[in-house]
Amino acid sequence: MNEPIKKQFVNFRFFKILPEWRFLDASTKKKEKEISLKLYEEAASQMILRSYTTLGIRPDCEFMFWRISESLESFNEMSAQFFKVGFGKYVSPSYSYIAMTKRSSYIDKISPEHVESRTLIQPGKYKYLFVYPFVKTREWYSLTMEERQAMMDDHIRVGNKYPQVKLNTTYSFGLDDQEFVVAFETDHPSDFLDLVMELRGSPASRYTLRDTPTFTAIAKPFSKILDDY
C-alpha cells in the first residue's frame, strides 16, 4: 500500500509598518527588535520560515514572511505571538495568501521530476522572489483534460527554457480567494521578466482571469530587515 503523499500548508504574509514605530526612541526600538527576533527564531525552529524585504519596491508592504508547515495551526500560533509583543505591535498585515502543495494534474514531458517536486517546497536558495495569486477563467475548467494538457505542454515548454527560474505552484481551491499562488525564485530578475513575457503568448494565457497583485521581494534575514528600521 502506497504511503499518502505529505502536503504542506504555505503562507505568504506581507506587512506594513505603522507610523508610530518611527517616533520611538532608539533604545526602545532596540529592545522591541530583540523580542521579535527571538520570537522569529523560535518559530523558525517549528516550521520553514523565510523573510524577504519589499522596502522601496511596493508602497503597500515593506517585508514578507514565507511560511511552510504541515500544520495550519502553526501559522495562527506564530501570528498570535508576533502581534502581541516587540516590533510586531507596530506592524499590520497588508496581504496574506494561504495555499497547499499538491501534485500537478499535468505531465511535464521534458522534466517529469518537476511534477513530483511540487509536493514539498524547500525555499530560500535564490536572492529574488516573485509572488502572485492566480485565477483561471471558468471556461478553462470546461475544456477536456486533453485540451488543457495540450496547452500546458506549450506552457511547460516555455518554462523549461528558463531552468534558472524555479517555480513553486501551490493550490488555494476552497482555502482562499484565489485558485493558486505562484512563487518564482531566481538570482536574475531579467530572466523572470523574459519568462513572463514569453508566457503571455502561450495559448493557456487566454484563460487567465487574474494574476495580480504581483510582489517583487528580496531575500533578507529578519535581523537585517529589523536593522532597516
Mean pLDDT of 44-52: 97
Angle 119-122-125 from CA coordinates, rounded to 5°: 145
- The yes-or-no verdict on residue 39 having pLDDT over 70 is yes
Best CA proximity match to 130, nearest among 195, 80, 81: 195
Mean pLDDT of 22-34: 97
All residues at 6 or more sequence positions from 170 whose CB lies less than 8 Å from its CB, including other chains: 10, 99, 100, 101, 102, 121, 180, 181, 182, 183
pLDDT at 122: 84
Mean pLDDT of 193-197: 97
> What's the one-letter identity of residue 94?
S
- The yes-or-no verdict on residue 42 having pLDDT over 60 is yes
Mean pLDDT of 22-39: 98
Task: Out of 10-24, 96-110, 202-216, pick the least confident.
Answer: 96-110
Average pLDDT, the chain: 93
> pLDDT tens across 100-145, in order?
999 888 866 655 555 445 678 888 789 999 999 999 999 999 999 9
pLDDT at 196: 97
Asked whether the beta carbons of 74 and 65 are under 8 A apart, the reply is no
Partners of 171 in the β-ladder: 100, 180
**What are the sequence ranges of the domains in the chain?**
9-99+217-227, 102-216
- Can you spell out the DSSP letters for 77-132? HHHHHHTTSGGGGGEEEEEEEEEE----SS--SS-THHHHHTTS----SSSEEEEE
Mean pLDDT of 86-104: 96
- The yes-or-no verdict on residue 223 having pLDDT over 80 is yes
pLDDT at 147: 96
Task: Out of 2-11, 70-79, 134-143, 160-169, pick the least confident.
Answer: 2-11
pLDDT at 116: 45
Please tell me whether the overall predicted TM-score, pTM, comes out greater than 0.95 for this model: no
Percent of the chain residues topping a pLDDT of 90: 86
Domain 9-99+217-227 has CATH 2.30.40.10: no
> pLDDT tens across 160-192, in order?
999 999 999 999 999 999 999 999 999 999 999
CA atoms within 13 A on the CB side of 52: 28
In which band, very low, low, confident or very high, does the pLDDT at 35 lie, cut at 50, 70 and 90?
A: very high
CATH of domain 102-216: 3.30.70.1030
Angle 196-202-207 from CA coordinates, rounded to 5°: 95
Which residue reads 483534460 in cell numbers?
145
d(CA 34, CA 11): 24
Strand ranges inside 114-228, DSSP E = 128-136, 166-171, 180-186, 208-210, 215-219
- Grid coordinates standing for 108? 511535464
Mean pLDDT of 51-55: 98
| Three-state secondary-structure class, residue 35 | helix
Angle 60-94-71 from CA coordinates, rounded to 5°: 140
* Higher per-residue pLDDT: 75 or 113: 75
Asked whether the beta carbons of 201 and 194 are under 8 A apart, the reply is no
- Grid coordinates standing for 78? 506564530
Partners of 53 in the β-ladder: 63, 218
pLDDT at 3: 55
